[in-house]
Amino acid sequence: MGRSADVFDAYGRYYDLLYRDKDYAAEVDYIDSLLREHRVPGRNLLEFGSGTGKHGRLLAQRGYDVTGVERSAEMVARAEQTNGFRCQEGDICTVQLGLEFDAVLSLFHVVSYQVSNSAVSAVFARAAEHLKPGGLFIFDIWYSPAVYAQGVEVREKKMSDEVTNITRLAEPVVFANENRVDVNYTIHSTDLRSDDTETILETHSMRHFSLPELDLLAEINNCQRLRAEEFLTGRDAGENTWGVCVVLQKS
């Protein structure tokens, strides 16, 4: 029987299996190279929307000290804390740690999960408040030119491990005047030991962004954009670039 849940509540139980094919090590190589190239002043990082801690733990292995803030209790519970990586439950729109970091990271579309203008403004303000002068805000977003050029489509993904089979159907609905796409997820899971099945429904509302609006948000928060490029490859952003990585620097 299907049931609705808060975003990442039920989904969080299957998150690591759903993204088992995601190359977190390569992503951390890429982030590490951005931090070095832009001469981040130190090794203290704040991670917004740290999820199950995959990036955070890998960055800690490279000598960074990472503090994660994550809204979903389910995701926090699954995020193993290690030497150099800790995380806490919190909302990145309101978090106030009273500390300044060398960089704020927000990876795998976390900023795109902020749909309203008030949420977006709040996240940029919280990032800037937690940065030392010269510190970096590195995040990736869904990029408006690519969403318009490519359009959206229904997708199915299947993953399994020794105990679980999952099929995830993603059905997007476009709200063209709001720069928003609601992705309706239906996840069917089967426990291979008991044959029990479960169906979960979650809607993830995603906002896509253009560079002029990001530059405006940067300017309002005393930051400037150092780069915007395809996440991971570093290619120029354009109509083929769904995921764009942006690096801002606090003045």
Ligand X SMILES: C[S@@+](CC[C@H](N)C(=O)[O-])C[C@H]1O[C@@H](n2cnc3c(N)ncnc32)[C@H](O)[C@@H]1O
- Minimum CB separation of residue 98 from ligand X in Å reads 18
Query: What whole-number distance in Å separates Cα of residue 100 and Cα of residue 32?
Result: 19
Chain Cα centroid distance, residue 174: 20
- Minimum CB separation of residue 15 from ligand X in Å reads 7
Q: Which is nearer to ligand X, 5 or 41 (CB)?
A: 5
Q: Which is nearer to ligand X, 118 or 197 (CB)?
A: 118
Helices (H), ranges, 62-210: 73-78, 117-129, 144-150
Measured CA angle at 94 (ends 89, 96), to 5 deg: 80
Residues at the site binding ligand X, with contacts judged by CB under 6 A: 8, 49-51, 54-55, 69-72, 75, 91-93, 107-110, 113
- Minimum CB separation of residue 12 from ligand X in Å reads 7
How buried is 62 (Cβ within 10 angstroms: 0-12 exposed, 13-18 middle, 19+ buried)?
Answer: middle
Q: Which is nearer to ligand X, 184 or 190 (CB)?
A: 184
- Minimum CB separation of residue 24 from ligand X in Å reads 7
Query: What whole-number distance in Å separates Cα of residue 189 and Cα of residue 160?
Result: 9
Q: Which is nearer to ligand X, 25 or 192 (CB)?
A: 25
